[in-house]
């Protein structure tokens, strides 16, 4: 059987083989070929996805995924297949572990890493298995770049940053002794050309897709970027910005210091979010935002002025 490479298989895998491997019942298109494994936020046609809660059955079945690991027999659309097992999450993990087994490190820079001409890796850095680093990069002391990550040309990674740490992503069930079970990460971090990453940053790999940083983006110190997040070209992220998982950030976006961004939302091209703002929902591009919840800065500042006048107005009302 082929080895898994990020969310895609190097060659299609028979869904019948997957069902047999999992000791599962196969319903629907039994001749299908799975091209990859993915989680629901990133699924594409040909993907295998899992669902273990009735609340999300319809979402998974109606998604672009062609094959659904599920714990109940339900109606399945033409051209798709159900892989029915008692514990879909455990089945998902079994597939990940089979195609992407743990590979221990035996030296600071793996023999499988490919490092381009003119790139300098400082002492005390760690470069994992199957990492690719482009030309003319500077990888400073104490940097960790974990397995399968991909770094472009002319990239600077300052001291102590970690690229490719596991996603903070857990399967939750309150009817078992351990409520939160880790959803193992088999995605990558892909960093474009001319990116600069400050000191002490953490960039999580995708769960089964890629976390991506676009060309020319500059990231200050102590920034966290969650799993499967995609950041566009020529963005600017100031210190202590925190971005949750599966966020889509357009080109030319500026996030000033200590901005916090919730999961699975989009920020449009050329938006600016001022310091210490909180973003719980998507924002249109081309505007300046401030506060929590982040709103257009002009409106938010006028709101603050009126809030400050409440005591004065209260005295007038009460006479």
Sheet holding 188-191, edge to edge: 114-115, 132-133, 150-151, 188-191, 210-213, 230-231, 248-249, 266-267
Backbone angles phi, psi at 14, to 5 degrees: -60, 130
**How far apart (Å, rounded) are the C-alpha atoms in residues 213 and 158?**
16
Give me the catalytic one of 98, 129, 227, 270. 227
Half-sphere exposure of residue 75, counting CA atoms within 13 Å on the CB side?
Answer: 3
DSSP string, 136-150: S-EE-TT-EE-TT-E
Backbone angles phi, psi at 197, to 5 degrees: -120, 125
Q: Identify whether the C-beta of residue 119 lies closer than 8 Å to the C-beta of residue 101.
A: no
C-alpha closest to that of 31 among 6, 66, 74:
66
Q: Which residues pair with 150 in a beta bridge?
A: 132, 190
Collapsing DSSP states into helix, strand and coil, what is residue 285? coil
| 227 in active site | yes
Half-sphere exposure of residue 119, counting CA atoms within 13 Å on the CB side?
Answer: 23
Q: Would you please indicate which residues are annotated as catalytic (active-site) residues?
A: 227
């Amino acid at each position: 059987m082929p080895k898994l490479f990020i969310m895609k298989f190097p060659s299609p895998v028979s869904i019948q083989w997957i069902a047999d491997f999992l000791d599962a019942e196969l319903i629907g298109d039994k001749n299908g070929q799975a091209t990859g494994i993915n989680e629901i936020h990133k699924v594409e046609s040909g993907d295998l996805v899992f669902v273990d809660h009735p609340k999300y059955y319809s979402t998974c079945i109606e998604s672009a995924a062609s094959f659904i690991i599920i714990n109940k027999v339900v109606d399945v659309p033409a051209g798709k297949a159900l892989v029915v097992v008692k514990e879909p999450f455990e089945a998902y993990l079994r597939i990940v572990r089979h195609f992407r087994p743990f590979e221990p490190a035996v030296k600071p820079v793996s023999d499988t890493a490919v490092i381009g001409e003119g790139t300098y890796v400082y002492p005390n850095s760690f470069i994992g298995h199957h990492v690719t680093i482009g030309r003319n990069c500077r990888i400073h002391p104490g940097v960790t770049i974990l397995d399968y990550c991909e770094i472009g040309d002319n990239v600077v990674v300052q001291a102590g940053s970690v690229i490719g740490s596991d996603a903070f992503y857990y399967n939750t069930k309150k009817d078992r002794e351990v409520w939160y079970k880790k959803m193992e990460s088999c995605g990558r971090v892909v960093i474009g050309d001319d990116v600069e990453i400050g000191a002490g940053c953490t960039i999580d790999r995708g769960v089964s897709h890629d976390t991506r940083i676009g060309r020319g983006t500059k990231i200050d110190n102590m920034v966290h970027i969650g799993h499967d997040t995609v950041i566009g070209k020529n963005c600017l992220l100031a210190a202590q910005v925190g971005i949750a998982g599966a966020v889509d950030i357009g080109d030319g976006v500026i996030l000033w210091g200590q901005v916090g961004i919730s999961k699975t939302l989009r920020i449009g091209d050329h938006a600016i979010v001022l310091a210490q703002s909180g973003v719980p929902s998507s924002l249109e591009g081309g505007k300046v935002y401030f506060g929590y919840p982040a709103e257009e800065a002009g409106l938010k500042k006028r709101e603050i002025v009126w809030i400050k006048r409440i005591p004065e107005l209260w005295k007038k009302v009460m006479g």
